[in-house]
C-alpha cells in the first residue's frame, strides 16, 4: 500500500511539473516571460511535493505516539493492569501479530487469548492511521497544486523562486552537520544527567572503584564506589601513552625520511603502503592484537619470567610468569601501529609547509641534512607537530575495537604496561552490549563515559586544530 | 707564516674529526628514518601475512561420503525429520570399520562427533523427496565436524596429549582409516560464501554478513552522498561569510574527528530509543554510518569544488547563467570525479567501521540471510568481532577468512576510487 501511494505521489509531482510547464507555455504566448516554462514546471513540482512530504514527515513522527495512545485507550482491563514495561511488550507483540508476524514471547493465560483480538485492533488502528496520513498528504499536494497553478503568469519570477528553494535545500543539507552535533550533545547530556542524578558527578570523576556489575541490584543503585571512573581514565591514559610511544617516533621519523631524504620513486611506493596501513579496519587490528601479538608477548614474558624465577630477581620472574594476553602493552602497541600512518601523514604535511628558504639558509651555513632537520626544521615545525600529536592522542583515546578485543575488563589503577587495564571505550561497549534494560544506572553510565570521552576528544581536537592553523598561517 | 700554518693544521684536524662525527650522526639519523619506515611496512606485512596464514585454511573443507542403508525399521517414512540419521550413519560407519560398540553406545556417539549435524537435514530432505529410498542403500555426504576438519588440516596434532585435544585417539584413528578408504574428500569451501552465520563452525558462512553490510552501505550511500554533496556545494558556492557558516565549518571539522563510538551512542539514543527504529537493522546501521561518513564526504567534495578554476564560473555567469545554473551545470559536473572518489573512499571506510555497530545491537548471533532493511542482521566487521569471541577453535580460521573477505571488498572499492581518479581527474 505504501508503494501504491508513493507511486501516486510521484505521479502527481510529475504531472504538476508537466502541467505547470504546459500552462506557462500557454499563458505566455506572444508575451515575453520572465522565466522559462520548465522553471514554472519546477516551481509547480515543488509546491506539490513539499506540502505532501511535510505531512508525511509529521505523520511518521507522530503516528507511533498516537497509535500507542489509541491502543492504550481501548485496551482490556487485564492489559491495563500490567506494569508499564510489560504493557509495552504486549502492545509490541500485538502489533507484530496484527502484521502477521510471530509474537516475540509466549504470553500466559489471560494475555494469550487477548493477543489475536488486540492484534486485529492494532492492525486496524495502524491501517487507519497510515491511510489517514497518506490521504492527508495527497490532499496537501492537491492544495499546493491548486495554489500554484493559479499563480503561473508570464511575469512570475519562477526561476528565482525555484533557485531560492534549491539554496534552501542545500543549506538544510549543511545544517544536518550542525544537527548531528546537537544530537550527539543532546543524547549524551540527557542520559548523562539521568545517570548523574543517581551517582554524584564528583564520585564518577574521582572515585577509584569501578564495578558496574554489582549495581544491577536495586538496593545497590549508585552505591558508593561502584561508578568511580578514575581507573578507566588511568587505563585509557596508559594505553594512549604506550600507543604514542610507538606511533610518535616511528611516525615522525618516517615523515622526516619521506619528506627530506626519500627520492620521488621511494616516496611513491612507500606512501601508498602507509595509506593501506591507515585503511585497515580497526577490527582487523583487534584480531591481530588478540590472536597474534597477545599470545606472542605473553609467551615472551612468561619465558623470561621462567628464566628469572628462582634467581636473584625471583619476584620479578614470578610476576612475569603470570602476565596475561590482555596486558596494556598489547593493545597499546597495536594501537601505536595503527596510528603510525596518521602521525606520519600529518607530520609530513607540516614539515613540507616549512619554507624552503629556512632549509637553504641552513645548508648554506654548512649544516648537514640531519642538523638542518633537528635544529631548524623541527623547531620551526614544533607547534604543528605538537598539534598533530594531539590529534593522534585524541584518536588513541577514542579508539574502540582494538581495546575491546585485546585489553581486559579489570578496572585497575596502575601504570604498569604488563598489567591488564580497561578503558573508557571498552566499558561503554561492555555496558551496552550486555543486558538491555535501558534505565538502569549501568547502561546510563555508558552515556556518562561517552560524554566524558566526547568532551575530552573535542577539546583536544579544537586545541590541536587551532595550533595547526596558526602554525600554517605563520608561513603563508 | 709557519706558526699560522700550524694553527690552521690543528684546526683543520679538529674540524676533520668533527666532520667525521657529524657525518656519522647524519648516517645514523638517516638510518633511523629508514628503520621507522621499515617498522611500519614490516608490521603491515606481518599483519597481512598472519591473517592469510590463519585464514587460508578456511577456504577448503572436508566432506565425508558414506553409503547408508536406509533401514526401514529405523527411518520414519511419515516424518523423516524425526529420524536419528546421525546415529544410523554412525553405527553403520562403525560396523564398516569393524568396531564393536559397548552397551552405552559411547563409540557411536564418538563417531557422531566426527561429522556435522547437517547430515540429518540432507538425509531427511532426501527421504522426504524420494520415500522409495527407504530400505535401499544410498550415498550420503555431509561436512565433517569442525574438530575433524581441523585435524585433517593439521591444526590438531596427534602429538598433543589426548586430554588436551578435542579428539580422542580412537576418533583420530577412525578418521585416518576413513581418509585412507577414500571416504573423505577435501574441496573448496563454497559454504563459506553461500551460507549465513551458524553456531556450528563447519556450517557458518559470511554471505549473511556480506548482504547485511551491502544493505547498510546502500542506506549510507543514499543518505550521506546527496546530503554531503549538497552541504559542500552550499558551503563552497553559496554560503555568505558570516558567523553561522563559520560555525558550520568548525563543526564539520570537529565532527570528522569525533570517535566512532560516540556515533554509536547517538544512534542508540536517537534512532533506537527515541525513534524506535528496529535494533541491529541495516536501516539503523546505515543511518549511523551515514552521519559518520557525512563530514568526510563534505570535506572531499569541497576540496574538489575548490579545484575547479574560477574562470569556469565566471564564463558561465558572463553568459547569463544564474548562480544555481553555474553550479549545477558547470562546476559540480567538473568536480564530479573528485566527489565520487571521496565518496567511494568514505564508503570503504564505513564498511570497516565496527564500534558503532556493536552499540546498536549488531553483536548478537543472527542465523540465515537477511531479507529486509528493518530486521536484525549482521555485518562483516561485526561478524569478525563475533567469531573472534567464539570459543570453538575452528572459528579462528573463519574469522581470518572473514577478514580477508572484508579486506577484499575494501581493496575493490579503493581500487575503483583510484581508477576513477586516474581516468577522469583533470588538472587545470
pLDDT single digits (tens) B341-388: 999 999 999 999 999 999 998 888 888 888 888 888 889 999 999 999
Q: What is the pLDDT of residue A105?
A: 74
Domain ranges of chain A: 2-156, 212-475
ipTM value for the complex: 0.90
Does the pLDDT at position A401 exceed 90?
Answer: yes
pLDDT band at A31 (very low <50, low <70, confident <90, very high): confident
pLDDT at A345: 92
Mean pLDDT of B203-214: 93
Q: Write down the pLDDT at residue A476.
A: 65
| pLDDT at residue A225 in the model | 45
Q: Test A171 with B234 for CB contact under 8 angstroms.
A: yes
Whether residue B47 and residue A170 make contact (CB cut-off 8 A), yes or no, is no
Instruction: Supply the pLDDT for residue A86.
Output: 76
Q: Do B298 and A277 touch (CB under 8 A)?
A: no
The confidence score (pLDDT) of residue A436 equals: 53
Q: For residue B86, is pLDDT > 60?
A: yes
CB-nearest partner of A457 from B47, B257, B354? B257
Chain B positions touching A171 (Cβ under 8 A) are 234, 238-239
Which range, A85-94, B126-135, B196-205, B219-228, has the best average confidence (pLDDT)? B219-228
Element (H, E) at A403: helix A401-406
**Mutate which of A62, A176, A251, A387 to disrupt the B interface (most B C-beta within 10 Å)?**
A176
Q: Do A256 and B33 touch (CB under 8 A)?
A: yes
pLDDT at B287: 95
pLDDT surpasses 70 at B57: yes
Mean pLDDT check: name the lowest of A95-109, B51-65, B132-146, B297-311: A95-109
At B161 the pLDDT is 83
Provide, as residue numbers in chain A, all residues whose Cβ is less than 8 Å from the Cβ of B287: none
| pLDDT bucket at A45, cuts 50 / 70 / 90 | very high
What residues of chain A lie within 8 A of the CB of B414, using their CB? 279
> Does the distance separating the beta carbons of B43 and A286 come in below 8 Å?
no
A273–B385 CB contact, under 8 Å: no
Mean pLDDT for all residues in chain A = 87
Using the beta-carbon criterion (under 8 Å), do B43 and A178 form an inter-chain contact? no
- Measure CB to CB from residue A401 to each of B43, B54, B354 and give the nearest one: B354
Between chains, do A400 and B230 touch, taking CB under 8 Å as contact? no
| CATH number belonging to the domain at A212-475, selected among 3.40.50.2300, 1.10.1740.110, 1.10.3720.10, 1.10.10.10 | 1.10.3720.10
Helix, coil or strand: residue A243: helix
What does DSSP assign to residue A446?
H
pLDDT for residue A222? 46
pLDDT in tens, A143-193: 999 998 888 888 888 899 999 999 999 999 999 988 999 999 999 999 899
Q: Which of A104-108, B70-74, B211-215 has the highest mean pLDDT?
A: B211-215
Residue B48 has pLDDT above 60, yes or no: yes
Question: Does domain B207-424 match CATH 3.20.20.70?
Answer: no
Size of interface A-B (CB pairs under 8 A): 253
Residues from chain A that touch B229, judged by Cβ atoms under 8 A, are 173
Name the residue in chain A with its Cα closest to that of B32.
A253
Question: B381 to chain A: nearest residue by CA?
Answer: A283
Q: What is the pLDDT of residues A330-343, one digit of tens each?
A: 999 999 999 999 99
Q: Could you tell me the pLDDT band of residue B29, with boundaries at 50, 70 and 90?
A: very high
A-chain residues near B255 (CB < 8 A)? 177, 180-181
Q: Tell me the mean pLDDT in the region B161-179.
A: 86
**What's the CA gap between B243 and B249, in Å, rounded?**
10
CB contact under 8 A, A283 and B269: no
Answer yes or no: is pLDDT of A218 > 70. no
pLDDT at B298: 95
Q: Note the pLDDT of residue A215.
A: 46
* % pLDDT > 90, chain A: 47
> Which of B40, B251, B268 shows the shortest C-beta gap to A250?
B40
Q: Which pLDDT score is estimated for B136?
A: 87
Residue pair B217/B290 in contact by the 8 Å Cβ criterion: no
Determine whether the interchain pair B298/A174 forms a contact, defined as Cβ–Cβ distance below 8 Å.
yes
B272: pLDDT strictly greater than 90: no
pLDDT > 90 in chain B, percent: 46
Asked if residue B1 has pLDDT above 60, the reply is no
What letter does residue A307 receive in the DSSP assignment? H
Do A283 and B384 count as a contact with CB atoms less than 8 A apart? yes
CB spacing of A450 vs B51 below 8 angstroms: no
Residues whose CB is less than 8 angstroms from the CB of residue A170 and which lie 6 or more positions away in sequence, other chains included? B230, B231, B233, B234, B238
Distance between A250 CA and the closest CA of chain B, angstroms: 5
Say which of A254, A404, A461 has its CB closest to residue B36. Answer: A254
All residues of chain B having their beta carbon less than 8 Å from the beta carbon of residue A187 are 265-266, 269-270, 274
Residue of chain A whose alpha carbon sits nearest to that of B405: A284
Taking the CA of residue B119 and the nearest CA in chain A, the distance in Å comes to 29
What is the chain A residue with the closest CA to B48? A288
* pLDDT score at A216: 46
Chain A: nearest CA to B48, how far in angstroms?
A: 9
CB contact under 8 A, B355 and A183: no
**Residues shown for chain A:** 476
Partner-chain residue, chosen from A257, A398, A399, that has the shortest CB–CB distance to B34 = A257
Nearest-by-CA chain B residue for A165: B324
- Residue A295 to chain B, least CA–CA distance (Å): 13
Q: For residues A274 and A254, is the Cβ–Cβ distance under 8 A?
A: yes
* Weakest mean pLDDT among A97-101, A211-215, B162-166: A211-215
| Banded pLDDT at A437 (limits 50, 70, 90) | low
Residues of B in contact with A425 (CB under 8 A): 259, 261, 355
pLDDT tens digits for A46-70?
A: 999 999 999 998 988 888 788 888 8
Cα separation, B428 vs B415, whole angstroms: 24
Q: To the nearest whole angstrom, how far is the Cα of A315 from the nearest Cα of chain B?
A: 30
Chain B residue numbers touching A279 (CB-CB < 8 A): 348-349, 352, 410, 414
User: What is the greatest pairwise CA distance in chain B?
Assistant: 123
Which chain B residue lies closest to A251 (C-alpha atoms)?
B36
pLDDT given for residue A453 in this prediction: 95
pLDDT, tens digit (0-9, with 9 covering 90-100), for A8-27:
989 999 999 999 999 988 88
Write the pLDDT tens digit of every residue in A286-315: 999 999 999 999 999 999 998 888 888 888
Q: What is the pLDDT of residues B219-269, one digit of tens each?
A: 999 999 999 999 999 999 998 888 888 888 888 988 988 999 999 999 999
Q: Is the pLDDT of residue A29 over 90?
A: no
Contacts of B400 in chain A (CB under 8 A): 287
Which residue from B23, B257, B268 is facing A394, i.e. has the nearest CB? B257
pLDDT tops 90 at residue B319: yes
Contact between chains at B228 and A173 (C-beta distance less than 8 A): yes
Shortest CB distance from B260 goes to which of A285, A374, A400? A400
Asked if residue A241 has pLDDT above 50, the reply is yes
pTM score, whole prediction: 0.88
Residue of B nearest to A168 (CA): B234
A247-289: pLDDT as tens digits: 999 999 999 999 999 999 999 899 888 988 888 999 999 999 9
Residues ≥6 apart with Cβ < 8 Å to B246: none
- Chain-chain contact of B32 with A253 (C-beta, under 8 angstroms): yes
Per-residue model confidence (pLDDT) at position B368:
81
Amino acid at each position: 500500500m505504501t508503494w501504491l501511494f508513493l507511486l501516486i505521489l510521484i505521479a502527481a509531482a510529475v504531472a504538476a511539473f508537466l502541467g505547470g510547464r504546459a500552462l506557462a507555455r500557454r499563458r505566455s504566448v506572444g508575451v515575453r516571460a520572465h522565466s522559462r516554462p520548465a522553471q514554472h514546471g519546477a516551481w509547480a513540482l515543488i509546491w506539490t511535493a513539499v506540502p505532501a512530504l511535510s505531512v508525511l514527515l509529521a505523520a511518521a513522527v507522530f503516528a507511533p505516539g498516537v497509535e500507542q495512545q489509541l491502543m492504550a485507550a481501548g485496551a482490556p482491563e487485564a492489559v491495563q493492569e500490567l506494569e508499564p514495561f510489560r504493557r509495552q511488550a504486549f502492545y509490541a507483540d500485538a502489533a507484530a501479530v496484527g502484521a502477521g508476524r510471530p509474537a516475540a514471547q509466549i504470553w500466559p493465560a489471560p494475555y494469550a487469548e487477548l493477543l489475536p483480538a488486540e492484534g486485529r485492533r492494532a492492525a486496524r488502528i495502524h491501517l487507519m492511521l497510515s491511510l489517514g496520513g497518506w490521504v492527508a498528504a495527497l490532499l496537501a499536494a492537491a492544495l499546493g497544486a491548486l495554489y500554484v497553478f493559479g499563480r503561473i503568469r508570464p511575469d512570475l519570477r519562477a526561476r528565482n523562486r525555484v533557485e531560492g528553494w534549491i539554496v534552501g535545500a542545500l543549506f538544510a543539507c549543511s545544517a544536518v552537520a550542525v544537527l548531528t552535533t546537537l544530537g550527539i550533545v543532546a543524547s549524551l547530556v540527557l542520559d548523562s544527567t539521568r545517570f548523574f542524578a543517581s551517582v554524584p558527578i564528583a564520585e564518577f570523576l574521582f572515585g577509584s572503584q569501578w564495578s558496574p556489575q554489582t549495581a544491577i541490584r536495586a538496593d545497590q543503585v549508585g552505591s558508593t564506589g561502584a561508578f568511580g571512573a578514575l581507573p578507566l581514565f588511568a587505563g585509557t591514559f596508559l594505553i594512549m601513552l604506550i600507543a604514542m610511544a610507538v606511533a610518535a617516533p616511528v611516525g615522525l621519523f618516517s615523515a622526516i625520511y619521506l619528506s627530506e631524504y626519500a627520492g620521488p620513486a621511494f616516496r611513491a611506493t612507500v606512501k601508498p603502503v602507509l595509506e593501506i596501513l591507515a585503511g585497515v579496519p580497526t577490527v582487523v587490528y583487534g584480531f591481530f592484537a588478540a590472536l597474534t601479538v597477545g599470545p606472542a608477548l605473553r609467551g615472551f614474558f612468561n619465558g623470561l619470567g621462567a628464566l628469572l624465577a628462582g634467581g636473584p630477581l625471583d619476584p620479578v620472574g614470578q610476576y612475569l610468569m603470570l602476565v596475561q594476553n590482555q596486558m596494556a602493552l598489547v593493545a597499546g602497541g597495536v594501537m601505536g601501529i595503527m596510528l603510525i600512518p596518521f602521525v606520519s601523514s600529518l607530520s609530513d604535511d607540516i614539515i613540507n609547509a616549512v619554507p624552503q628558504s629556512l632549509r637553504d639558509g641552513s645548508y648554506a651555513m654548512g649544516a648537514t641534512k640531519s642538523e638542518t632537520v633537528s635544529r631548524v626544521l623541527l623547531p620551526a615545525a614544533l607547534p604543528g607537530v605538537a598539534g598533530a600529536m594531539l590529534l593522534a592522542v585524541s584518536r588513541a583515546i577514542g579508539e574502540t575495537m582494538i581495546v575491546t578485543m585485546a585489553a581486559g575488563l579489570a578496572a585497575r589503577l596502575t601504570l604498569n604496561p604488563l598489567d591488564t587495564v580497561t578503558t573508557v571505550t571498552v566499558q561503554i561497549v561492555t555496558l551496552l552490549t550486555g543486558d538491555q534494560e535501558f534505565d538502569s544506572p549501568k547502561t546510563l553510565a555508558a552515556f556518562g563515559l561517552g560524554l566524558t570521552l566526547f568532551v575530552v576528544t573535542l577539546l583536544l581536537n579544537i586545541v590541536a586544530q587551532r595550533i595547526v592553523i596558526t602554525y600554517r598561517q605563520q608561513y603563508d | 707564516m709557519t706558526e699560522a700554518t700550524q694553527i690552521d693544521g690543528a684546526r683543520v684536524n679538529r674540524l676533520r674529526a668533527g666532520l667525521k662525527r657529524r657525518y656519522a650522526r647524519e648516517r645514523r639519523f638517516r638510518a633511523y628514518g629508514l628503520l621507522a619506515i621499515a617498522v611500519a611496512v614490516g608490521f603491515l606485512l606481518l599483519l597481512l601475512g598472519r591473517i592469510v596464514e590463519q585464514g587460508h585454511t578456511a577456504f577448503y573443507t572436508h566432506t565425508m561420503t558414506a553409503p547408508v542403508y536406509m533401514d526401514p525399521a529405523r527411518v520414519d517414512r511419515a516424518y523423516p525429520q524425526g529420524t536419528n540419521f546421525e546415529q544410523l550413519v554412525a553405527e553403520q560407519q562403525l560396523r564398516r570399520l569393524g568396531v564393536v560398540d559397548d552397551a552405552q553406545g559411547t563409540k557411536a556417539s564418538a563417531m557422531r562427533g566426527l561429522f556435522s549435524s547437517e547430515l540429518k537435514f540432507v538425509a531427511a530432505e532426501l527421504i522426504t523427496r524420494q520415500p522409495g529410498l527407504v530400505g535401499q542403500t544410498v550415498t550420503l555426504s555431509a561436512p565433517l565436524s569442525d574438530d575433524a576438519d581441523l585435524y585433517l588440516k593439521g591444526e590438531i596434532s596427534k602429538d598433543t596429549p589426548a586430554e588436551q585435544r578435542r579428539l580422542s585417539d580412537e576418533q583420530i584413528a577412525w578418521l585416518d582409516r576413513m581418509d585412507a578408504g577414500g571416504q573423505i574428500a577435501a574441496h573448496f569451501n563454497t559454504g563459506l560464501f553461500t551460507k549465513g552465520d551458524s553456531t556450528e563452525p563447519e556450517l557458518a558462512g559470511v554471505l549473511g554478513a556480506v548482504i547485511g553490510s551491502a544493505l547498510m552501505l546502500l542506506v549510507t550511500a543514499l543518505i550521506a552522498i546527496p546530503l554531503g554533496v549538497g552541504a559542500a556545494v552550499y558551503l563552497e558556492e553559496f554560503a555568505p561569510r558570516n558567523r553561522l557558516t563559520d560555525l558550520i565549518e568548525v563543526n564539520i571539522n570537529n565532527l570528522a574527528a569525533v570517535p566512532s563510538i560516540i556515533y554509536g551512542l547517538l544512534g542508540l539514543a536517537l534512532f533506537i530509543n527515541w525513534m524506535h527504529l528496529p535494533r541491529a537493522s541495516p536501516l539503523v546501521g546505515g543511518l549511523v554510518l551515514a552521519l559518520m561518513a557525512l563530514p568526510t564526504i563534505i570535506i572531499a567534495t569541497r576540496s574538489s569544488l575548490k579545484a575547479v578554476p574560477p574562470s569556469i564560473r565566471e564564463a558561465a555567469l558572463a553568459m547569463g547563467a544564474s548562480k544555481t545554473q553555474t553550479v549545477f551545470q558547470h562546476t559540480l559536473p567538473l568536480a564530479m570525479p573528485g566527489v565520487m572518489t571521496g565518496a567511494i573512499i568514505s564508503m570503504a571506510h564505513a564498511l570497516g567501521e565496527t564500534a558503532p555497530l556493536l552499540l546498536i545491537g549488531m553483536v548478537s548471533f543472527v542465523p540465515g540471510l537477511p531479507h529486509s532493511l528493518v530486521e536484525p542482521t549482521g555485518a562483516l566487521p561485526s561478524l569478525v568481532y563475533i567469531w573472534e569471541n567464539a570459543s570453538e577453535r575452528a572459528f579462528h580460521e573463519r574469522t581470518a577468512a572473514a577478514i580477508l573477505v572484508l579486506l577484499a571488498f575494501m581493496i575493490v572499492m579503493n581500487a575503483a576510487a583510484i581508477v576513477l581518479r586516474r581516468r577522469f581527474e583533470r588538472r587545470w
